[in-house]
């Protein structure tokens, strides 16, 4: 049994952090599902920017849209929804067989809305309705302005992947927004079964401090933050507040490990998958990490519900001068900015593939 199936058997889902038209059409994604126990998929502006820039598979659709005068952003969502809906249909049997726990596909609202609560809610509802698939997550950033948008989207019945979370405090804010949305649905007599995941970014922590800490602490911060966040997750699931909602028919908002491709060439290429096995969670990985884990990954054990050595490790970083609370805010702002830059690059890429004006 390969390591990907071991994760599945202990209750962790592996989702692919990638989407391209060729991946969908040449059978690669179907093979990942069949052979590597992949049960979902996530996307983001950077992934789509790379896919559209490096492939001619989108050129004809872009040319038609540009000729018809469709604005770049609207044209992108037409293209993205076509891919995402195809992926959602591929994962639908998984979604159905797991009672809606797995088989999800994610599409993100425009990162330019990160500071616009009302605009984010409007975009989330619109994208979900246009997608027309019950296993479609809409990604909303867990920024200060995004958190109330998460609550409103959940209340509106839109499944949400809360992205750009970097700390236990960020996770708790996202979880409480989800709980409030579900509680409001129950109070209004609505179905409380609205799916959600909360995506905690891992590897960017270690990139941020790699030149600022002793060698003994290298590549340990992201995992320690994840362990402490997992403790908060387990505490929430054990709370009376959650048990009341579960009894009414709500599903847990699962904790998702994001950004789990290893960035340090000196570290194991499966570092963040090996270390973060935990029941009831999701790990979303790029193709390279998925294939590496399938061939030589090792499930090193299951995360302790109490966070294990997280507090001791984080204390070591504090002694080294790392303020993790402040750094979490910086990482979230930097991540928001990076996605906005990818978005702008994506719009330029689409514009560049449109028909050129005739020379006079």
Q: What is the pLDDT of residue 359?
A: 41
pLDDT at 1: 60
Residue range 126-153, pLDDT digits in tens: 999 999 999 999 999 999 999 999 999 9
Predicted confidence at residue 156, as pLDDT, reads 98
Q: Which domains does the chain have, with CATH numbers?
A: 3-352 (3.20.20.70)
Rounded to 10 degrees, the C-alpha dihedral 217/222/228/234 comes to: -150
Token pair of 235 as six digits: 């505490």
Q: Map residue 56 onto helix, strand or coil.
A: coil
Residues of the chain with pLDDT > 90: what percent?
A: 94
CA distance 207 to 204: 5
* Helix axes of 28-36 and 72-97: crossing angle, nearest 10 degrees: 30
Distance CA 171, CA 175 (A): 6
The structure tokens listed for 102 are: 């797995």
| C-beta neighbour count of 302 within 10 angstroms | 13
Lookup result for tokens 């709500």: 250
**Among all residues, which ones are annotated catalytic?**
139
pLDDT at residue 291 greater than cutoff 90: yes
Q: What is the pLDDT of residues 252-290, one digit of tens each?
A: 999 999 999 999 999 999 999 999 999 999 999 999 999
- pLDDT for 55 equals 86
Calculate the alpha carbon distances from 181 to 118, 150, 157, 174, 248 in Å: 15, 8, 9, 11, 14
The pLDDT assigned to 71 comes to 94
Q: Judge contact between 198 and 171, C-beta under 8 A.
A: yes
Contact between 350 and 52 under an 8 Å Cβ cutoff? The reply is yes
Residue carrying the six token digits 């409001």: 184
Q: Is the pLDDT of residue 360 over 50?
A: no
Contact 165, 142 (CB under 8 A): yes
**What is the per-residue DSSP string for 68-117?**
TT--HHHHHHHHHHHHHHHHHHHHHHHHHHTTTSS--EEEEPPGGGTT-H
| DSSP 8-state assignment for residue 260 | -
Distance CA 331, CA 27 (A): 36
What is the per-residue pLDDT for 357? Answer: 47
Of 42, 7, 11, 36, whose CA–CA distance to 274 is shortest? 7
> Apex CA 118: angle with CA 116 and CA 123, to 5°?
90
CA 32 – CA 3 distance, rounded (Å): 13
Arithmetic mean of pLDDT, 23-41: 96
Cβ distance 222 to 204 under 8 Å?
A: yes
214-265 pLDDT, tens digit per residue, is 999 999 999 999 999 999 999 999 999 999 999 999 999 999 999 999 999 9
């Amino acid at each position: 049994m390969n390591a990907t199936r071991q994760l599945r058997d202990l209750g962790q889902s592996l989702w692919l952090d990638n989407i391209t038209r060729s991946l969908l059409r040449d059978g690669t994604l179907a093979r990942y599902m069949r052979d590597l126990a992949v049960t979902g998929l996530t996307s983001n502006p950077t992934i789509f920017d790379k896919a559209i820039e490096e492939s001619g598979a989108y050129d004809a659709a872009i040319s038609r849209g540009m000729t018809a005068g469709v604005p770049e952003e609207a044209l992108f969502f037409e293209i993205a929804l076509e891919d995402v809906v195809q992926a959602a249909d591929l994962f639908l049997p998984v979604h159905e067989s797991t009672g809606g726990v797995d088989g999800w596909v994610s599409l993100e609202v425009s990162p330019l809305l990160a500071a616009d609560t009302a605009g984010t809610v409007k975009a989330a509802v619109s994208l979900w309705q246009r997608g027309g698939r019950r296993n479609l997550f809409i990604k909303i950033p867990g920024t200060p302005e995004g958190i109330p948008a998460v609550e409103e989207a959940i209340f509106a019945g839109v499944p949400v992947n809360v992205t750009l979370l970097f700390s236990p405090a960020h996770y708790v804010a996202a979880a409480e927004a989800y709980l409030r949305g579900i509680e409001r649905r129950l109070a209004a007599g609505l179905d409380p079964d609205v799916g959600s995941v909360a995506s905690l970014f891992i590897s960017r922590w270690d990139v941020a401090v790699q030149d600022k800490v002793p060698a003994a602490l290298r590549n340990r911060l992201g995992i320690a933050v994840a362990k402490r966040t997992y403790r908060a997750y387990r505490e929430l699931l054990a709370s009376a507040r959650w048990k009341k909602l579960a009894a009414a028919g709500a599903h847990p908002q699962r904790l998702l490990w994001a950004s789990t491709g290893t960035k340090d060439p000196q570290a194991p290429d499966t570092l963040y998958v090996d270390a973060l096995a935990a029941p009831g969670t999701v790990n979303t990985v790029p193709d390279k990490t998925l294939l590496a884990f399938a061939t030589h990954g090792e499930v090193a054990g299951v995360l302790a519900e109490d966070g294990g050595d997280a507090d001791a490790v984080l204390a070591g970083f504090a002694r080294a001068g790392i303020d993790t609370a402040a750094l979490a805010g910086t990482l979230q702002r930097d991540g928001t900015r990076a996605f906005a830059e990818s978005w702008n690059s994506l719009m330029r890429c689409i514009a560049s593939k449109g028909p050129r004006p005739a020379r006079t």
